Amino acid sequence: MAGRQMSTTPTSISFVKVNVETTRPTAVILAGGGLRKCVRVRNPFFISIHHAPSIKSEVTASSRSMESRTCFLGEGRCFRRRSQKTAEISYKLRMLPRTDQRIGCQRPRRRAIKSSISVIAFLASRLYTPLESVDRPYILIEGDTIVEVASQSAHPIPRGVETVEFPDAILAPGFVDIHIHGGAGHDVMDADSAGARALERLLVRHGVTSYFPTTVTGPLDQTLSALERLATRIDQAERERTGGMQQAQPLGIHLEGPFLSHLRRGVHPPDNLKRPTLELFDRFWQAARGQIRFLTIAPELEGAMEVIAEGARRGVCVSLGHSDADFNVAQAAVDAGARHATHAFNAMRPLDHREPGIIGEMLTDDRLSADIIADGVHLNPAVVKLFLKAKGSDSAVLITDATSATGMPEGRYRLGSLEVEVKDGRCVSDGRLAGSVLTMDRAVRNVMQFARWDLQQALRLASLNPARVARLTGRGKLEAGGRADVVVLTSRGEVQTTIVRGSVPESAPRS
């Protein structure tokens, strides 16, 4: 394309629009703010902007997939819309200096662009997105963002890129645990920042890169204080850059209790259970500074339907659990806004062939996703298999319900205000099961064993599905624009290493 002389003084553009009609490398000349721009559109999802020589900056862009194929650039944000997609992703837009005084667009060479952030390619034997399988894959990562996922057989690795190879290994999305009470000797309701980091380091050793710390019923003042601490930790973790230290990131709070059934309370202290009210829910919400992302509630309680509706309105995933609800009440709760079920079968009215109750609703309503504790203790393996047949690979989720005893020797530990004893892989308080010592990688392997699922199927229950239930952006799936959270596995589902925010473990083989 012909170019023209331009000023070297940076001039901002308030809004620019690019219509992308092809996935081939394309160049478009735009005008705006008195300054012509050259925008290069590359496959996949890569856009570079030639700007005045003095401009050298990077901006984070977010992308929301809709129906058209239109890209909007402005104020440091980019919304790229692709047909028949609903996932929301984010990626980097690079603002680059021009190399001469004439603005012009030439067909770009593959990855010829330099950046202040290094680009790394992770190589392995196979990759599960988890929806697709890729042989001889590489993941191109810039900073904490995935730039490209491809097969070496189809696309050679860009020149000059640092590579980290994991021979005979499988790359998969980092795991997401939406229900966890603690680990490494620390309970999430009591842990300070050091304790939280110890838990987060334990989690990444088992493939978990994102988690939702989960409360347990306790005295009201203790619960409010715990919510404040957890909100502070979530904000702190968002700002942290660990400098190579691998640790999972808390993304929100799961409020389990006090809106639970006395009859199906499990080990939750009966004296601290509360009737659900909008006023009390808002007190929890304010203490957590809006960080409540999950709410487990028994829908048969007086006032529960109002709280379910309000929670759903605020974007909370309302989950049915610790409940003695009959079928009609459970169905009404879904109509009111509930869309998930907590640790299926456990702390629920048993299934009956004449009154199927909450379990019948959970198994048959496609509007509900549901999670299980697949440790071989909470559920018989045959029930795990039954559950997976009923909910399928789209709606089943794995959780750990792990306590502070996870990763620790047998002994006595804390679960909120309770003392639990761990022996022979069981967490017990007063003779009742009280959480677990399950890790997410073990849960994946158990599904493979109990249900005879292959690794790719089982991985979805620990990555994509919980990410979708939590409505996370850019997590749970390996794709361009996604967060660079990757677990490296053996073919048996054993964790070799975990990559968090694109941070390369020190032990990883570089070249």
Query: Does the pLDDT value for residue 43 go beyond 50?
Result: no
Taking the model in full, what pTM does it have? Answer: 0.79
The pLDDT, as a whole number, for residue 242 is 53
- What are the structural domains, with CATH classification, of the chain? 16-97 (no CATH), 175-475 (3.20.20.140)
Q: Are 460 and 146 in contact (CB under 8 A)?
A: no
- One-letter amino acid at 177 equals D
Q: What is the spatial order of strands in the sheet that 46-51 belongs to? A: 26-32, 35-42, 46-51, 88-97, 57-64
Q: Are 295 and 261 in contact (CB under 8 A)?
A: no
Locate 219 and state its tokens. Answer: 């005295």
pLDDT digits (tens, 9 = 90+) for 72-83: 333 333 333 333
Pairing type for strands 292-297 and 253-256 reads parallel
CA distance 93 to 417: 48
Residue 321: which of 250, 369, 382, 283 has the closest Cα? Answer: 369
Which helix or strand (DSSP H or E) is residue 359 part of? helix 357-364
Taking phi first (over 0 means left), then psi (-120 to 50 degrees means alpha), and beta for anything else, what does residue 430 get?
Answer: left
Q: Which residues does the annotation mark as catalytic?
A: 401
Q: Are 357 and 326 in contact (CB under 8 A)?
A: yes
The pLDDT, as a whole number, for residue 140 is 95
pLDDT digits (tens, 9 = 90+) for 243-288: 556 899 999 999 999 999 999 999 999 999 999 999 999 999 999 9
Write the CB contacts of 22 (distance below 8 Å, at least 6 apart in sequence): none
Q: Binning pLDDT at 50, 70 and 90, where does residue 67 land?
A: very low
CA distance 367 to 298: 18
